Amino acid sequence: MRHCLRALWIALSVVGASWACASGADNGVAQKPLMGWSSWSALRGPGNEARIKGEADVMAEKLEPFGYTYINLDSGWDRGYDANGRPETDKSRFPGGMEGLAAYLHSKGLKLGIYLMPGLPDAVFQANPTILGTPVKIRDIVDPNRTGDTLGRNHAIDYTKPGAAEYIQSCVDLFASWGVDYMKMDFVGPGGGKVASDNREDIKAWMTAIKKNGRPIWLELSNSLKLEYVDTWKAYANGWRIEGDVEGYHTNFLTNWAKVSKRFDDAVKWAGQGGPGGWNDMDSVEVGAGEKDGLTENERYSVFTLWSICCSPIILGPDLAQLDDGDLKIITNPEVIAVHQAGRPATPIVSQGDGRVWEIQNPDGTSYVAFFNLGASAETITVTPAQIHMTGTMMVHDLWSKSDLGTVTNGIQVPLDSHACRLLKLTPYHPI
């Protein structure tokens, strides 16, 4: 990552922290944005028991000390349903069951996530079992006039009908008994997908069941959720995907700049919505596989910086068993991770050509300022005293190089190569 700082002028007035606490669901988790790994990007599914334990071993050794704890299985971990219509583990993939996998992860200080979709699968509808603890049959809770998810696969649930809440509760209680710590609910609407679906009542029912059970389970929503319903997402979820998939499908790479650069515009629209209890989710961080990321070195730094300052969950996508040493330094930079874990999402303050600047104002009078060049050619980005709200001479520290750059007054100019970034900490200078 090649760039230099031309500190020309800063003179900014100190104000209180500009961020507002935007509470998410109060279910005992998500006080900080999570850090972990998902099986989807590298494995296109849940993998198998041996593979997932191998990923967990690497996380425990190399990443857990920096805050990474979640191992999240994507679509395909389950196979069939029990006598009450609840998902069963695919024992051909996971012979020890989800409870065995959870116990293994927990023994290493890690957490287990599983993948779900709202509504009722057709196999459950056809079998029509009795809902646990009730005389109600599955078909009795179906709403035939709605679609159950935005993929158009499942039957919708009518939560005004007896037995509907009990069915969701029975599923949550089962997952909690296994030791599940995270549930990704995919194809939730209103949002993206192939068909229109409104799953707001589903999400309310799932979160209500989680709270009633008492196990601290993170509920994440996917994908492309509509901003106009953000109050619902914040009330009943711990995270919500603001875009579609970041993966670069049909290529040999995990992603590409066209995919990740969309998040720079999306993040602006959703700024101010994330906070303790629930966070804006920009999807997986595809940094860790070196050239197989599909990103240049500059782009990898920019991706990790944007996700960190916006406090998006950092869910790695690459195969952890093949971590690239250069990328490992990026995803384990303690100074950048500290910004992420402080849970104060940045505010966009400058859009200048292809240049973007975001700021986090801290209660102690310091601030973090992130500079990005989204363009194909080099560009110099300028911030003025009024834009970064501080006064006097400032000490400048570069979080990526972990180096002090001296002092500046009256403003900052940062020249950046194509798709490069800079993340600086500004501290009021008080000479002895």
Q: pLDDT tens digit string along 119-140?
A: 999 999 999 999 999 999 999 9
Nearest-angstrom CA–CA distance, 356 and 378? 13
Contacts with 258 (C-beta within 8 Å, 6 or more apart), sequence order: none
User: Cα separations (Å) of 371 from 60, 306, 313, 356, 414?
Assistant: 32, 10, 21, 6, 8
Contact 166, 133 (CB under 8 A): yes
Contacts with 405 (C-beta within 8 Å, 6 or more apart), sequence order: 5, 7, 396, 397, 398, 424
Q: What is the pLDDT of residue 179?
A: 98
If you count DSSP H runs as helices and E runs as strands, how many of each does the chain have, helices first? 11, 20
- 52 pLDDT band (50/70/90 cuts)? very high
Contact 113, 163 (CB under 8 A): no
Task: Kindly state the average pLDDT of the residues 60-77.
Answer: 98
Check residue 136 and report its DSSP letter: -
Which tens digit of pLDDT belongs to each residue from 187-216? 999 999 999 999 999 999 999 999 999 999
Residue 323 has pLDDT above 60, yes or no: yes
Residue 3 has pLDDT above 80, yes or no: no
* Residue with more model confidence, 177 or 24: 177
Nearest-angstrom CA–CA distance, 397 and 35? 25
Which tens digit of pLDDT belongs to each residue from 312-322? 999 999 999 99
Q: What are the start-end ranges of the H helices in 119-222?
A: 122-127, 164-178, 200-213
Q: What is the pLDDT of residue 401?
A: 97
Which tens digit of pLDDT belongs to each residue from 215-264? 999 999 999 999 999 999 999 999 999 999 999 999 999 999 999 999 99
Q: What is the pLDDT of residue 6?
A: 34
Residue 5 has pLDDT above 60, yes or no: no
Nearest-angstrom CA–CA distance, 38 and 46? 9
* Residue with more model confidence, 24 or 246: 246
Residue 17 has pLDDT above 60, yes or no: no
- 390 pLDDT band (50/70/90 cuts)? confident
Task: Give the pairing type, strands 279-281 and 403-408.
Answer: unpaired
Supply the mean pLDDT for the chain: 93
Nearest-angstrom CA–CA distance, 36 and 67? 8
Given the structure tokens 């801290």, which residue do they identify?
362
Distance of CA 104 to the CA centre of its chain: 24
Residue 224 falls in which region: left (phi positive, over 0), alpha (psi -120 to 50) or beta:
left
Residue 379 has pLDDT above 60, yes or no: yes
Q: What are the start-end ranges of the H helices in 67-163?
A: 97-107, 122-127
- 1 pLDDT band (50/70/90 cuts)? very low
Task: Kindly state the average pLDDT of the residues 162-182.
Answer: 98
- 11 pLDDT band (50/70/90 cuts)? very low
Q: What is the pLDDT of residue 20?
A: 43
Residue 142 has pLDDT above 70, yes or no: yes
Residue type, 21: C
Closest CA relative to residue 144, chosen from 132, 153, 157: 157
Q: What are the start-end ranges of the H helices in 130-288?
A: 164-178, 200-213, 230-236, 257-270
Q: Which two tokens stand for residue 20?
A: 């507002």
Q: Which SS3 state, helix, strand or coil, does residue 284 take? A: coil
Nearest-angstrom CA–CA distance, 324 and 234? 36
Contact 274, 238 (CB under 8 A): no
Q: What is the pLDDT of residue 78?
A: 98
pTM for the full predicted model:
0.94
Given the structure tokens 């007896």, which residue do they identify?
162
Given the structure tokens 């700049």, which residue do they identify?
257
Q: Which two tokens stand for residue 33?
A: 């944005």
CB-CB neighbours of 161 under 10 Å: 14
Q: Which SS3 state, helix, strand or coil, does residue 73 take? A: coil
Q: Where do the domains of the chain lie, and which CATH numbers do they carry?
A: 35-341 (3.20.20.70), 347-428 (2.60.40.1180)
Q: What is the pLDDT of residue 15?
A: 28
Q: What is the pLDDT of residue 18?
A: 37
Q: What is the pLDDT of residue 384?
A: 87
Task: Give the pairing type, strands 421-428 and 394-398.
Answer: antiparallel
Contact 111, 125 (CB under 8 A): no
Residue 429 has pLDDT above 70, yes or no: yes
Q: What is the pLDDT of residue 23?
A: 62
- Of the listed ranges 148-157, 248-257, 380-389, the least confidently predicted one is 380-389
Task: Give the pairing type, strands 412-416 and 379-383.
Answer: antiparallel
Contact 368, 18 (CB under 8 A): no
Q: What is the pLDDT of residue 22?
A: 46
Torsion sign, CA atoms 254, 259, 261, 262 = negative
